[in-house]
Structure formats: structure tokens, C-alpha cells
């Protein structure tokens, strides 16, 4: 009833303030059709690679004096090289030094064995004087060993992959028989950017991301960019319109001068010499011009919130006057005619207005009915039309300051999308937003691949899209569900105090998974195969099934019932249309027939090329070089239809199709479901980094972020997406890795306990073992040394630094004692009481006051209850050490061994807590030593007091030093 039909979903009209913005007001529309498959190419039989006989690239002209023999020879050589290049793999494995890996594996075995022996020893040798202390510690140690194993085992087969974009170019963008002009035969990519709050995610940041996407090095007509605005805010909308307008000079400028990175804010902020390696004489002038343009653009974007407010105020007061007049007229009428006309409202609503004098259909500055967060209409606006099919050259620099005569001026399509939201509907956070984009884009551009970026993650390496596509177009590419790029961060303090960079995860864990079934999906910087997102399985399986059952496109009857019941129809073959049970599809994808029809097109376009040596079903070369039809109004209307909030009712969106709902870490679940179906993913580490983003650098925001991730993990643990229940196609080690994702927050229970053990032991005068025996110390030594050895080897094969590894260890304890434990409680609450967990956005804007200090934010101190447990731990441990020292020194019954053990453990805890203590101190200059010294002094006073009283009891009142 809140459906779009009642309040009318609308297509807003553009309202940008900038001048050269004409083209956006009318949008031409565009549809991708299935490229005609050559009739002579029966599927799925092997097809021949077309071999080009003449004019390869800038092939050398035939000279008359050359003999026929020579020419033939040359041609055949060219054949060979071309054939070589065409069959050349697009990706390859870069071996990590086998010696390092061998030692690494041996050390793992050593540590597993010694841990086992140690635990055995511990269980057999209880501390009879303090059984409780012994028992607690042994339980914790067993769990730590278990969780270490979960983390370590999937790291047995680390691997590095490299791509070959030159080979990709030869294969897809060089002239050949099927494609004489050498027009790009690469598949389309739809880029999704998510933003949700114009305050926490500044539109300027988002606009920069958009600019970096619009200028990537990928065939322009194959690229479409969609921005999802979950805030439905006019500010974001107009900032995007500004970005679209600035792109008209920024993008050609980047293309002409090969600018990197193509995010203007980062580019102009580079510390290195901008003229290095630049030889064009017009570069200096054009750079200056574009820089000025960017500065003006920035000022315009920054002024938007003010100008929108002023504009809205003006319109609103006009409306008010109108309303007042209406009311007066009505009053006069009522008095004169005694007419029973309904009384018009006296006050007009405080609307937010677009510059063309219409209401903004999204949320308003003063929220009101149908115009607030969580209650507004759908908005789709094509900000940049789909580009022409052929290159459009720019003009020479006489009238304009820029000379773009040789530059392609086209821009990829850019679409602003804000899905409809109504109260009473679950919106499913980011996953819901992404699914709306999946549908809208299926109708508007239907790129067979989808790249997902958070608004603060921009394209740092303009060729990264090609790197990703290499994996997809390689000979086994049709088994690949996604290619994950590592998340890299900027603006982080040098020592990365809170392990924001997460290099241990991104360079060790994910690389290791790449050697099994592939990295997890981590939410941003990921290139998906559209059909994998649609919930289909990989084709390998289909081929087997097809051979055995002889039928096409239908689901496997003898599959595990749990997965069959809800799994979408298998691969649909374009040629086998008649045999597909189409009636099943709307149940899964919803009622839009345009959407349903687009599925098979995307499947076809996502296939790698057919090759001579492979029986896999590919697509014929040259089939993606055709032109696209323009967008029409009906298409855009249909796109608006599929982003309405009721569209997903009674469908499988979020259950089996698209991003999966039910966890605040939707990313892990979504990737998990694909691996579960037998898909393979790849990890693509590029040089320079493919994408870069921002991370919260102050302690509080960081803890909240970790809290959200851990909560998501607990949600996964308690859901049907727990890796234990996964089907047979999830490989064992991959399963253990996913299991670890669900289990790691629970480790916090034991970490917390363990951190309280040193104070307990020091206060009580006992230790976890009865006495520090040689075997205990030896075991401890082996365990510690083997861990250090593993760390060093991991550092060796992954390329991270030891400091980063250590920071990660530290934050493991800090997170474990604060965020993770709360996550476990929250998760259990959700399971028992059904209390929903909110998605607290990570703030991207710097909140520090100090303008000159890049890291002002780092020293920002915001109190949060999450800090209570670690703070308690710090204080208790310090007090305990000093107390025990005093007692041992001043009493007649010194227990040096227990003091030593306890102090060692407490020191270990405090060492890990150091960054946390630093975070509490705020500003630079004052070190956490102050915290330690102060609590130390207080502790000494208390302990002296204690010892005095104790001694005076023993010695009958007189204080005696022993
Ligand atoms: O209702 C929502 C909530 C969030 N987002 C977007 O989701 C992204 C991630 O949010 P952020 O607060 O930046 O989370 P991070 O902790 O930085 O993100 C990591 O972890 C998240 C899962 O918890 C993933 O969704 C992210 O992709 C991943 O980068 C942002 O672009 C938001 O705009 C929405 O679109 N709608
Ligand atoms: Mn983020």
C-alpha cells in the first residue's frame, strides 16, 4: 500500500546549476541486445580461432621487391606470434619461494605438535594450590590453540596471481577476421558506488570517486556507473551532477596526459613532482587550467548545502505566501457565498527544492511525510547519457584553453539511483541498496560484470578494470564468480596504530585463500560476474550434468535438497531458450520481464571467448563489438519500477539472488554463498594499488567498525550461512576459513578471561602452574619461538612489515577485550530476543579541529562504553604488578617464582594494550607512560598500605622490614 503506485515513483529532472550541462536534461535511452551469434557456430562445440592473415595492427606494408617466399614466411611468423598471443593465458601463478613455503609448513607442523604436547602437559599437571586458576587458564589455552589452528590451517597454500593486460589487448582489441576494425570486444562493466549519508560521507569524496571511475582506462561504451544514494539527499544528487559536468574536462585531460591517479583530489594533492615524465609542452598550461577548474568545482560542491538551503527558503516563502492567499480567498468565498469548499492548509510544508522549481522527491532537510529517510519515492536520473559507439574527437584549443583534438571526449553513462523506501519495509542496508542497483542496471545497461565500490574507495590505478577482466576472460574464467582486489587505505598514521590497514588480513589471509578456492568478498573493490550474483552455479557443473542427463538448463534433480529447493534455474543458454522453464524465473527475480530477459544476455556476454582447445561454452570472438541502442523512456520507467520497495516481495532477492540479507557483514555472506555453489574467486593484487579508500583513524570509530564486523560474524555463526552447513562443493580449507570468520569473535570471551588472570594470580600469590618448572618454560619458549618464526616467514612471503604484523597482534587483544565481546553479547541477544543490529556508518569526514594537522582525527578522544573493559584490564594489571612486588619485597614469605610468572603475563597484556593507552591520551606529546606512571603511583600507595597493615598484624604492631 505504500507502493510506488500510490505516491508515484518519479524520474526527477536534472537541476544542475552549472552552465554546460545541457545534455542531461533529456535522456536518450539504451538497451543492450544479445549480439547475433553466427549461425555457423554450433554450441557448445569447439570453434576455430579466427586467424588474421593481413594487416595486423600497424603491419608493415608489402614492398614490391620482396619475394613471395619472404612475404609468406613473414606472414606465417606473424600467424605464429598472433596465435601465440591469442592462446597466451591472461593470468598466471607467480610462485612464492618454495623454500620459504617449505619451512613455513614445517614450522606449522612443529607448532601444532608442541602446542599439543604443551596442552597435554598442562592438563596433567594441575596447580593443586589454586585449581581454579589452573582450570581457567587451561580452558583459555585450549581455545587459543583451537582458534590459532582455524586461522593457520587455511594458510598452507599461499599463492600469487599476475595478469597480462597486453595479452588481453591482443585478444580483444586487435583487428581480426571477426572484428576487422579492432573495435573493443571486451565485455561491459557496471560500476556500483554506494553512499548513505551526505554528512558522514561527504559528497566531495563521493564525487571524486565518481570522477576516478568515469576516467578509467576501459572501452567507454562498455562502462556504466551507478551511484546508489541511500540517504535520498538532494545534496548528493547535485554534487553528482556537478561531478558529471566537471568530468567533461577532467576525463579527457586524464586520457590525454595519462594522469594517475584519476581522482582529482588525490592527483592535485600529490607530493611528488607533477611534471616528472611529462613531455608534452601543453601539459603545464592544461594542468593549470584543469586545476583551477577543479578548485572552482570544489567550491561549488562545498557551497551546495548552503545554496540548496537558500533556494529552498526562497521557494518555501513563496509557497507560504501562495498558501496564505489561497486561504484568504477561501475565507472571503466562505463569507460571501457560504460555500462548503474544503479549507486549504495555512502553512505550506518546508520542502527541499530542486533548482528547476520542483520538489525534490527524496528526503527533505526538514523531514516530513513521504520525504524522510526511510520514507521517500524512487529517484533515477541519467546524469550522463550512454556514449556514442564511435570515438568522438574533441576540438582544438583556439576558443577553449584545452586542446582535445586527438582525445576521445565520450564519457561513460552515469546514473543516480535512490531506491524507494517506505515504513514497514525492511531495507536491508547496503545489501538492499546493491540489489536495487543490480536490477536497475540489468535493465539500463546489463553489463555482464559488476564492480562494487564504497563511496570512499576510488580507482587508484586506471587499468585495474582490465586486470580484473583478465581473470574473467581467461580460459577457465567462466568458473570465476568474482575478482577481489585488496583494500588499501590512505590517510592513516605512519605507525598504523590501530592496524587500520589490516595488512595481515589482506596480504596474508586472502592471498592464502587464493590458493584454495579464492578470497572472501570484503565489501568493496570487487568485480562480480553478474550471473554469479543472480545465484546461478558455475558452468563446469552444468557441463557434467548436461552430459549425464542430456537435458539443458534445468536444475539438477539429485542435488542436496536443502540447496535445491531454493536455487535458481541453472545456466540458461541463449540457444536453448525453448527448453528453459521460464515460469520459474519470476518467482526468483520478480515480475519484471525486462529483467528476466536480460539474464541470459548477461550470461552470454560474460563468457570467455570460444577457443579451439576447449570444450567449454564460450562466445564467438567479435560478438561484443556491435552497437547499443539508445535508452528510451520505457526502459528508464521499468528501472524505476524495479527499485520500488515492494519489488522484492515474494521473490528470492537477498535470499538466493543478489547480495544476501541478514547480516551487517553482507559481504562475507554473499561471497560465501558463491563459494558454496562451487564458484572460484581470485585475488588481484596490482601495482600500483587498484583502489584506495579511507579508514577511521581514531580509536572510537575504529572500535565501532570492528564491533560491526564482529557482530556480523556472530550473525553469520548463528545463521544457516554457518560454514558447517555448507554443501560438498565448499573445499575443506575454505570451509575452515569461513568457519573462522564466524567463530573469531567468540575468542574474546577467553581473551577477556585471560587478561584478568595475571592480576588474579598476582593478588592471590599463586600462578597458573604450581612452580615454574623447566618443562613449562621450555614449552613456552618453543611455542613463542615458533610463532615468531611463522610471523617472520609470513612477513617474507606476503611482503608486509613486521611492525604491521605486531600491530595486528596488539589490536587482536584490544578488539578482543572491547568490540568483539560486545559483538558476542549483541549477537546472542539478537538470536534470543530478536533485537536488530543497526549499521552504524563509519564516518569518512575528518572531525578533528586542527586544520594543519593531517592526523588531528587520530588524537580525537570520544568516550565509548566499549573502552571500559580494556581500561579496567590496564589498571588492574599495573596495580597487580606493583602490589605483588611490594608484597614480595616487604613480607617474610617471598614467592619469587609466582611473582615472575605473573609479572611476565601482566607485562605481555600491557604490551598489547599500549596503542589503546595511547588512544586514551589524546594529543601528541603526552605518552601513555603518563597513564602507566600515574596508575603505578596510586598502586604503590595502596600496596604499601596493604603491606603495612598485614605486617603490623603479624608482628604485633611494629613495622619490620624483612
Ligand atoms: O544502509 C546503508 C548502509 C551502508 N551503505 C554503504 O555501505 C558502505 C560501507 O559502509 P562503511 O560505514 O564505510 O563501512 P566499512 O566498515 O568501512 O566497510 C566495510 O565493511 C562493510 C560491512 O560491514 C562493507 O559493507 C563495506 O563494503 C566494507 O568496506 C558505504 O559506502 C555506505 O554508503 C549503504 O549504502 N546503505
Ligand atoms: Mn568504509
Q: Which pLDDT tens digit goes with each residue over 794-812? A: 999 999 999 999 999 999 9
- Spell out the residues 6+ positions from residue 58 whose beta carbon is closer than 8 angstroms to its own: none
Quick one: CA dihedral 447, 451, 457, 461, positive or negative?
negative
pLDDT of residue 857: 73
User: Is pLDDT at 210 greater than 50 in this prediction?
Assistant: yes
CA distances (Å), origin 793, targets 97, 114, 508, 919: 11, 18, 11, 30
Long-range pairs of 915-921 with CB within 8 A, sequence gap ≥ 24: 915/497, 915/498, 915/807, 915/810, 915/811, 915/814, 916/699, 916/814, 916/867, 916/870, 916/874, 917/874, 918/497, 919/497, 919/498, 919/698, 919/699, 919/861, 920/699, 920/861, 920/867, 920/871
User: Is pLDDT at 50 greater than 60 in this prediction?
Assistant: no
Name the residue among 866, 865, 861 with its Cα closest to residue 849.
861
DSSP letters along 183-201, please?
Answer: ---PPPEEEEEEE--TTTS
222-231, 615-624, 873-882: segment of lowest average pLDDT: 615-624
Residues 72-83: what's their mean pLDDT? 57
Q: Are 920 and 929 in contact (CB under 8 A)?
A: no
Residues 466-493: what's their mean pLDDT? 94
Residue 910, all three cell numbers: 600491557
Q: Ligand 1 mean position to 436 CA, how many Å?
A: 16
CA distances (Å), origin 955, targets 566, 891, 927, 949, 962: 79, 11, 42, 10, 11
Residues 282-289: what's their mean pLDDT? 92
200 is in an annotated binding site: yes
Name the residue among 356, 355, 331 with its Cα closest to residue 343.
331
Please state whether beta strands 189-195 and 449-454 pair in parallel, antiparallel, or not at all (unpaired).
parallel
DSSP letters along 447-503, please?
Answer: -SEEEEEETT-EESSTTHHHHHHHHHHSTTGGGEEEEEPPP-EES--TT-TT-TT-H
344-358, 506-520, 815-829: segment of lowest average pLDDT: 344-358
The rounded radius of gyration (Å) of the Cα atoms in the chain is 32
2 burial level (CB within 10 Å; 0-12, 13-18, 19+): middle
Choose the residue to mutate in 451, 454, 670, 700 for probing ligand 1, maximizing ligand atoms within 8 Å of C-beta: 454
Q: Ligand 2 mean position to 456 CA, how many Å?
A: 6
Q: How many Å apart are CA 357 and CA 352, to the nearest integer? A: 10
Q: How many Å apart are CA 454 and CA 228, to the nearest integer? A: 10
318 is in an annotated binding site: no
pLDDT of residue 333: 80
Residues 274-281: what's their mean pLDDT? 83
User: Is pLDDT at 260 greater than 80 in this prediction?
Assistant: yes
pLDDT of residue 463: 97
Residues 837-862: what's their mean pLDDT? 66
pLDDT band at residue 167 using 50, 70 and 90 as cut-offs = very high
pLDDT of residue 10: 38
Taking CA atoms only, the protein residue closest to ligand 1 atom 28 is: 523
* 910-943 pLDDT tens trace: 999 999 988 877 665 455 566 667 777 777 777 7
233 is in an annotated binding site: no
Name the residue among 896, 895, 887 with its Cα closest to residue 939.
887
- What is the distance, to the nearest Å, from the Cα of residue 67 to the centroid of all Cα atoms in its chain? 59
Choose the residue to mutate in 191, 195, 196, 827 for probing ligand 1, maximizing ligand atoms within 8 Å of C-beta: 196
pLDDT of residue 16: 32
Taking CA atoms only, the protein residue closest to ligand 1 atom 34 is: 430
Active-site entry in 667, 689, 701, 857: 667
Enumerate residues with CB within 5 Å of ligand 2 (an ion): 454, 842
Q: Ligand 2 mean position to 640 CA, how many Å?
A: 27
Taking CA atoms only, the protein residue closest to ligand 1 atom 33 is: 195
Question: What do you get for the CA distance between the two ends of the chain, in Å?
Answer: 84
Q: Ligand 1 mean position to 711 CA, how many Å?
A: 14
User: Is pLDDT at 302 greater than 60 in this prediction?
Assistant: yes
Atom of ligand 1 nearest to the CA of 695: 17
pLDDT of residue 278: 79
pLDDT band at residue 326 using 50, 70 and 90 as cut-offs = confident
Name the residue among 315, 559, 360, 426 with its Cα closest to residue 836.
426
Ligand 1 proximal residues by C-beta, below 6 Å: 194-196, 201, 228, 230, 429-430, 433, 454-455, 523-524, 664-665, 667, 705, 708-709, 712, 839, 841-842
Choose the residue to mutate in 841, 842, 843, 844 for probing ligand 1, maximizing ligand atoms within 8 Å of C-beta: 841
User: Is pLDDT at 14 greater than 60 in this prediction?
Assistant: no
Name the DSSP class of 233: B
pLDDT band at residue 104 using 50, 70 and 90 as cut-offs = very high
Q: Ligand 2 mean position to 842 CA, how many Å?
A: 6
Q: Ligand 2 mean position to 951 CA, how many Å?
A: 58
Q: How many Å apart are CA 387 and CA 188, to the nearest integer? A: 13
* 415-447 pLDDT tens trace: 999 999 999 999 999 999 999 999 999 999 999
Residues 333-343: what's their mean pLDDT? 73
Q: Are 878 and 936 in contact (CB under 8 A)?
A: yes
Percent of the chain scored above 70 by pLDDT?
81
Residue 730, all three cell numbers: 565448499
Q: How many Å apart are CA 663 and CA 428, to the nearest integer? A: 9
User: Which residue is it, cell 551546495?
Assistant: 304
pLDDT of residue 397: 59
201 is in an annotated binding site: yes
347-361, 402-416, 504-518, 845-859: segment of lowest average pLDDT: 845-859
pLDDT of residue 928: 58
Active-site entry in 185, 217, 230, 375: 230
Name the residue among 162, 462, 424, 199 with its Cα closest to residue 305.
199
- Spell out the residues 6+ positions from residue 805 whose beta carbon is closer than 8 angstroms to its own: 503, 504, 791, 794, 795
194 is in an annotated binding site: yes
- Helices and strands: H and E segment counts in the chain: 29, 15
99 burial level (CB within 10 Å; 0-12, 13-18, 19+): exposed
Q: How many Å apart are CA 182 and CA 169, to the nearest integer? A: 10
Percent of the chain scored above 90 by pLDDT?
60
16-25, 165-174, 371-380, 515-524: segment of lowest average pLDDT: 16-25
Q: Which residues pair with 45 in a beta bridge?
A: none
- What is the distance, to the nearest Å, from the Cα of residue 455 to the centroid of all Cα atoms in its chain? 10
Three-class secondary structure of residue 611 per DSSP:
coil
Q: Looking only at Cα atoms, what is the longest distance across the chain? A: 121
User: Which residue is it, cell 591517479?
Assistant: 261
Q: Are 665 and 541 in contact (CB under 8 A)?
A: no
pLDDT of residue 888: 83
Q: How many Å apart are CA 621 and CA 247, to the nearest integer? A: 32
Q: Are 301 and 250 in contact (CB under 8 A)?
A: no
Q: Is 854 a catalytic residue?
A: no
Q: Determine the length of the chain.
A: 962
pLDDT band at residue 581 using 50, 70 and 90 as cut-offs = low
Residues 115-128: what's their mean pLDDT? 95
pLDDT band at residue 582 using 50, 70 and 90 as cut-offs = low
Name the residue among 719, 614, 619, 708 with its Cα closest to residue 676.
719
Quick one: CA dihedral 276, 278, 281, 287, positive or negative?
negative
79-88, 221-230, 694-703, 722-731: segment of lowest average pLDDT: 79-88
Q: 261 preceded by cis ω (within 30°)? A: yes
Q: Is 667 a catalytic residue?
A: yes
456-465, 539-548, 891-900: segment of lowest average pLDDT: 539-548
Q: How many Å apart are CA 34 and CA 626, to the nearest integer? A: 10
Taking CA atoms only, the protein residue closest to ligand 1 atom 24 is: 523
- Report the predicted TM-score, pTM, of the whole model to 2 decimal places: 0.86
Amino acid at each position: 500500500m505504500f507502493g510506488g503506485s500510490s505516491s508515484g515513483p518519479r524520474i526527477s529532472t536534472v537541476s544542475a546549476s552549472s552552465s554546460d550541462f545541457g545534455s542531461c536534461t533529456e535522456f536518450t535511452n539504451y538497451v543492450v541486445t544479445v549480439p547475433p551469434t553466427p549461425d555457423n557456430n554450433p554450441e557448445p562445440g569447439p570453434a576455430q580461432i579466427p586467424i588474421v592473415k593481413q594487416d595486423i595492427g600497424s603491419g608493415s606494408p608489402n614492398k614490391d621487391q620482396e619475394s613471395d617466399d619472404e612475404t609468406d614466411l613473414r606472414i606465417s611468423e606473424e600467424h605464429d606470434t598472433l596465435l601465440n598471443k591469442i592462446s597466451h593465458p591472461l593470468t598466471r601463478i607467480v610462485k612464492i619461494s618454495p623454500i620459504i613455503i617449505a619451512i613455513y609448513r614445517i614450522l606449522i607442523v612443529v607448532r601444532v605438535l608442541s602446542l599439543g604436547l604443551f596442552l597435554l602437559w598442562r592438563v596433567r599437571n594441575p596447580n593443586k594450590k589454586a585449581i581454579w586458576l589452573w582450570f581457567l587458564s587451561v580452558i583459555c589455552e585450549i581455545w587459543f590453540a583451537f582458534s590459532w589452528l582455524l586461522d593457520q590451517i587455511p594458510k598452507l597454500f599461499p599463492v600469487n596471481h599476475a595478469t597480462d593486460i597486453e595479452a588481453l589487448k591482443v585478444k580483444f582489441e586487435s583487428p581480426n577476421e571477426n572484428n576487422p576494425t579492432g573495435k573493443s570486444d571486451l565485455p561491459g562493466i557496471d560500476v556500483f558506488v554506494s553512499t548513505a549519508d551526505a554528512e558522514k560521507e561527504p559528497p566531495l569524496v563521493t564525487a571524486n570517486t565518481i570522477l576516478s571511475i568515469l576516467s578509467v582506462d576501459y572501452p567507454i561504451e562498455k562502462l556504466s556507473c551507478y551511484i546508489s544514494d541511500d540517504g535520498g539527499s538532494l545534496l548528493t544528487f547535485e554534487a553528482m551532477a556537478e561531478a558529471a559536468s566537471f568530468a567533461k574536462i577532467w576525463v579527457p585531460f586524464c586520457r590525454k596526459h595519462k594522469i594517475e591517479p584519476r581522482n582529482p583530489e588525490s592527483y592535485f594533492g600529490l607530493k611528488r613532482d607533477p611534471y616528472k615524465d611529462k613531455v608534452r609542452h601543453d601539459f603545464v598550461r592544461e594542468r593549470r587550467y584543469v586545476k583551477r577548474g577543479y578548485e572552482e568545482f570544489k567550491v561549488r560542491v562545498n557551497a551546495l548545502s548552503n545554496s540548496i538551503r537558500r533556494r529552498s527558503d526562497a521557494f518555501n516563502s513563496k509557497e507560504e505566501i501562495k498558501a496564505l492567499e489561497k486561504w484568504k480567498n477561501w475565507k472571503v468565498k466562505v463569507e460571501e457565498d457560504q460555500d462548503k469548499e474544503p479549507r486549504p492548509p495555512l502553512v505550506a510544508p518546508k520542502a527541499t527544492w530542486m533548482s528547476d522549481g520542483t520538489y525534490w522527491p527524496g528526503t527533505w532537510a526538514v523531514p516530513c511525510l513521504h520525504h524522510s529517510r526511510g520514507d521517500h519515492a524512487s529517484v533515477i536520473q541519467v546524469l550522463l547519457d550512454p556514449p556514442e559507439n564511435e570515438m568522438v574527437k574533441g576540438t582544438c584549443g583556439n576558443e577553449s584553453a584545452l586542446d582535445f583534438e586527438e582525445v576521445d571526449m565520450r564519457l561513460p553513462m552515469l546514473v543516480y539511483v535512490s531506491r524507494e523506501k517506505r515504513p514497514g519495509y525492511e531495507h536491508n542496508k547496503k545489501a538492499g541498496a546493491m540489489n536495487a542497483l543490480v536490477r536497475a542496471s540489468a535493465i539500463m545497461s546489463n553489463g555482464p560484470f559488476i564492480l562494487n565500490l564504497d563511496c570512499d574507495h576510488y580507482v587508484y590505478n586506471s587499468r585495474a578494470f582490465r586486470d580484473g577482466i583478465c581473470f574473467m576472460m581467461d580460459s577457465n574464467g567462466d568458473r570465476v564468480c568474482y575478482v577481489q582486489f585488496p583494500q588499501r587505505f590512505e590517510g592513516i598514521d605512519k605507525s598504523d596504530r590501530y592496524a587500520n590497514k589490516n595488512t595481515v588480513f589482506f596480504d596474508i589471509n586472502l592471498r592464502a585463500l587464493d590458493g584454495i578456492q579464492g578470497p572472501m568478498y570484503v565489501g568493496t573493490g570487487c568485480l562480480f560476474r553478474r550471473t554469479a550474483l543472480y545465484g546461478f552455479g558455475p558452468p563446469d557443473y552444468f557441463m557434467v550434468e548436461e552430459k549425464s542427463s542430456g537435458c539443458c538448463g534445468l536444475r539438477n534433480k539429485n542435488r542436496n535438497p536443502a540447496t535445491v529447493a531454493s536455487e535458481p534455474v541453472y545456466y540458461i543458454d541463449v540457444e536453448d531458450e525453448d527448453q528453459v522453464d521460464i515460469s520459474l524465473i519470476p518467482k526468483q527475480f520478480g515480475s519484471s520481464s525486462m529483467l528476466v530477459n536480460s539474464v541470459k544476455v548477461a550470461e552470454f556476454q560474460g563468457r570467455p571467448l570460444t577457443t579451439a582447445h576447449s570444450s567449454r561454452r564460450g562466445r564467438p570472438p567479435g560478438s561484443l563489438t556491435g552497437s547499443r541502442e539508445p535508452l528510451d523512456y520505457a526502459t528508464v520507467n521499468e528501472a524505476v519500477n524495479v527499485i520500488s520497495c515492494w519489488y522484492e516481495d515474494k521473490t528470492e532477492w537477498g535470499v538466493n539472488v543478489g547480495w544476501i540479507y541478514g547480516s551487517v557483514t553482507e559481504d562475507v555472506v554473499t561471497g560465501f554463498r558463491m563459494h558454496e555453489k562451487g564458484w572460484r574467486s581470485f585475488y588481484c593484487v596490482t601495482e600500483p594499488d587498484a583502489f584506495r579508500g579511507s579508514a577511521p583513524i581514531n580509536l572510537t570509530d575504529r572500535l565501532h567498525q570492528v564491533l560491526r564486523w564482529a557482530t556480523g560474524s556472530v550473525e553469520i555463526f548463528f545463521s544457516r550461512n554457518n560454514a558447517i552447513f555448507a554443501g560438498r562443493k565448499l573445499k575443506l580449507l575454505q570451509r575452515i576459513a569461513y568457519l573462522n570468520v564466524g567463530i573469531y569473535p567468540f575468542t574474546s570471551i577467553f581473551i577477556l578471561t585471560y587478561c584478568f588472570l595475571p592480576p588474579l594470580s598476582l593478588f592471590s600469590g599463586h600462578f597458573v602452574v604450581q612452580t615454574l618448572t623447566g618443562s613449562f618454560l621450555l614449552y613456552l619458549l618453543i611455542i613463542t619461538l615458533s610463532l615468531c618464526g611463522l610471523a617472520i616467514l609470513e612477513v617474507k612471503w606476503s611482503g608486509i612489515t613486521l611492525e604491521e604484523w605486531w600491530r595486528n597482534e596488539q589490536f587482536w587483544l584490544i578488539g578482543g577485550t572491547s568490540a568483539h565481546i560486545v559483538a558476542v553479547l549483541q549477537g546472542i541477544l539478537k538470536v534470543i530476543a530478536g533485537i536488530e543490529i543497526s549499521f552504524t556508518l563509519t564516518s569518512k569526514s575528518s572531525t578533528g579541529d586542527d586544520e594543519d594537522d593531517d592526523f588531528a582525527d587520530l588524537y580525537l578522544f570520544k568516550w565509548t562504553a566499549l573502552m571500559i573493559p580494556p581500561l579496567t584490564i590496564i589498571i588492574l594489571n599495573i596495580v597487580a604488578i606493583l602490589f605483588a612486588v611490594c608484597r614480595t619485597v616487604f613480607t617474610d614469605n617471598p614467592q619469587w617464582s609466582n611473582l615472575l610468572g605473573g609479572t611476565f603475563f601482566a607485562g605481555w597484556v600491557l604490551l598489547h594494550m599500549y596503542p589503546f593507552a595511547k588512544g586514551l591520551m589524546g594529543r601528541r606529546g603526552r605518552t601513555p607512560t603518563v597513564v602507566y606512571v600515574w596508575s603505578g603511583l596510586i598502586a604503590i600507595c595502596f600496596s604499601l598500605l596493604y603491606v603495612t597493615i598485614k605486617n603490623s598484624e603479624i608482628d604485633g604492631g611494629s613495622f619490620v622490614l624483612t
